[in-house]
Structure 1
């Protein structure tokens, strides 16, 4: 495949084999001692060893302490590994969790305090005062789009509440989006991360905020995901489908500069309370919340149906979405994933406090959130 280059605003190297360009990029920027930040499961797989084989001219360290949803302690451990290696740069290699940690490892290696103190809503938020180490990102899943985002979502160690470090300064200097890195994803992970990408594009489009640039990206991202998600799950080695999902993932993350909606508020609460995979949480909540949203913006659902190839307009979009989830193996509800009735008050509390629903097409009350969670059980 041809390697295409464009910026939005990150420089993106997209195409099969893009990972082989990382070493030359780092050397061109004077970096010789990168630290790879990745997750424990990925570190044990051949895909990381294969990637490292393209970095033989560099002195590479590895921090593989990311597991589950990213936490502040993982970031601080990564910063300690950066210092111990004497690193001069960071390579984020993995899914959304690994990339979110990688974005702020360099921050905490060069700044004082705890990473939570840099969250935008901390009562005494610390500024990012000093230049950060060179950071490049290689996504190995197609869902969060974290590689092109200017935020890092990190959970507090004790409460598990998600906090967001938001700054253009933590953007990757370059993204190497290589669909070959996603070929080994199992179907269940492909499905969950793919639904995350689709949710990002859909919620960005539905947001009432004004951002026509993001609207166009969101609609095209939804179209690409809709045409290829089933194929990527059913045919894991289908490189065109994998490429489509990787692109749809990045487009969703670019589009949600416009903001998201109540589906994400629910998913963030589920991640904090039940440690549910973020993409799966979105998938389990999306049809319940969107069915309620459609009453407020029916014309936008007509447009969604059009770009996703759904005959019958907006009224047919929700049945199509439910069938899509079934086709990619996402069935059942929250109860089957271990969510308990007694957790509902905490879920409602966290979802209500989450900022994402402030740009939902319809205002949400605690009673609305309780209804969403109950319907999704």
Structure 2
């Protein structure tokens, strides 16, 4: 039996419905969650794609009303979340379907955080004290549907939103908000162009690598990360070369989801840098991660000795030396036609000091495999801008 081509229901860490064609079930799931009028939140680029119409058709078939809010940028901004909240209230919606890549789902999750209360968005900052939510202001039910295989954001409430006043991407969340369902349908991703398949897929791989390298004992996340690495390195090149390969698309959907679960343990400086570059230069998050990865891995190398045997085994390598691990990553980036430096993405060398200061404040930097000062991050950025890999 080909497991990636058949339906499966999982309960960890939230209810997950996996399988080709399962988007058609979204109406039934929303009825079970007692929604009558969900708001579909997605990004600007996804608004007119077939899966939005398919979602609304399934909802309508079950007698549910819906509306689409799509004013979400590739790097979602705080004022966009305020507009989505206003739309939720004006339309008397009672649930959120967060649909898209990272930006669409982040927009939907942030909308869900604020929809039923008047609490300022930034009080939900991951690093701030947890906000008390009264019973009368409970979060609406949330369904997450990834349309790429990269973000892995479908099983948690965490969302990366740009603070437009500070020019920083910040993580917002609340421990009481959990997706009521994550729906993984690899058919949705068949139309994703090869370059976006590569960029989002590398994002998923980096989630798993950075999470595994976090210097903490978390066997659940570690095991999940290693399985994600195996799946992604096996199926990503196939999904890019053969975009209609449904089995490869399924392997990537599962691998991406596992990578997202793994990074509950933490991430690292790759993401800290990418968040701030994305906020300032509006670059694609997965692509920025991919370009920053080699410079960060070179910095982290002294702290990876104990991690390398499992990492290299997951990559299918014959030995556990750092050079083999590093060269395998660079070869994959080359195969996927990833640009070689941040300069290729329009980031000037003069930006390194300011970006380093902001990246050092990012929550992901605190769990990096090797402690990194502002000066360390500035030097990593200088390498990533001028040399890359």
Q: Give the TM-score category using the shorter length.
A: over 0.9
Hey, what's the Cα distance between the residues in 2 that align with 1:252 and 1:132?
A: 26
Residues in 1 aligned to 2:382 and 2:19: alpha-carbon distance in whole angstroms: 42
Q: How far apart are residue 125 of structure 1 and its match?
A: 6.6
Q: Which residue of 2 aligns with 1:247?
A: 254
Distance 1:311 1:276 in 2: 35
CA distance in structure 1 between the aligned counterparts of 2:116 and 2:204, rounded to whole angstroms: 32
The farther-off stretch of 178-187 and 352-361 is 352-361
Contact 1:273-1:343 within 8 A present in 2 as well: no
Provide the TM-score with structure 2 as the length reference.
Answer: 0.93
Unaligned runs of 5+ in 1: none
> Aligned with 2:302: secondary structure?
coil
Structure 1 match to 2:30: 26
Contact kept, 8 Å, 1:72 with 1:155, in 2: the verdict is: yes
Instruction: Provide the rounded CA distance (Å) in 2 between the counterparts of 1:170 and 1:71.
Output: 20
**Distance in 1 between residues matched to 2:307 and 2:130, nearest whole Å:** 37
Match of 1:136 among 129, 133, 143: 143
TM-score of the superposition, structure 1-length normalised? Answer: 0.96
Work out whether residues 24 and 54 of structure 2, in 8 Å CA contact, stay in contact via their aligned partners in 1: no
Instruction: Identify the residue that residue 74 of structure 1 maps to in structure 2.
Output: 80
Aligned to 1:85: 91
Which of 333, 339, 342 does residue 334 from structure 1 map onto? 342
Q: Does 1:356 align with 2:364?
A: yes
Contact 2:130 2:174 in 1 (8 A): no
How much has 1:157 moved relative to structure 2? 2.1
| Contact 1:118-1:165 within 8 A present in 2 as well | yes
Question: How many residue pairs are counted as aligned between the two chains?
Answer: 376
User: Is structure 2 residue 231 aligned with structure 1 residue 227?
Assistant: no
Distance, in Å, in 2 between the alignment partners of 1:285 and 1:117 is 30
1:357 Cα deviation (Å)?
2.2
Could you give the per-residue CA deviations for residues 80-115 of structure 1, whole angstroms, max 9, x where no partner exists?
Answer: 111121111111111111111111313322100331
Q: Which residue of 2 aligns with 1:10?
A: 14
Unaligned runs of 5+ in 2: none
Post-superposition offset of 1:180: 0.7
Write out aligned runs for 1:56-71 (5 A): 56=60, 57-71=63-77
- For residues 102-121 of structure 1, the aligned pairs below 5 Å read 102-121=108-127
Moved more, 282-291 or 41-50: 41-50
Matched, 1:325 2:333: yes
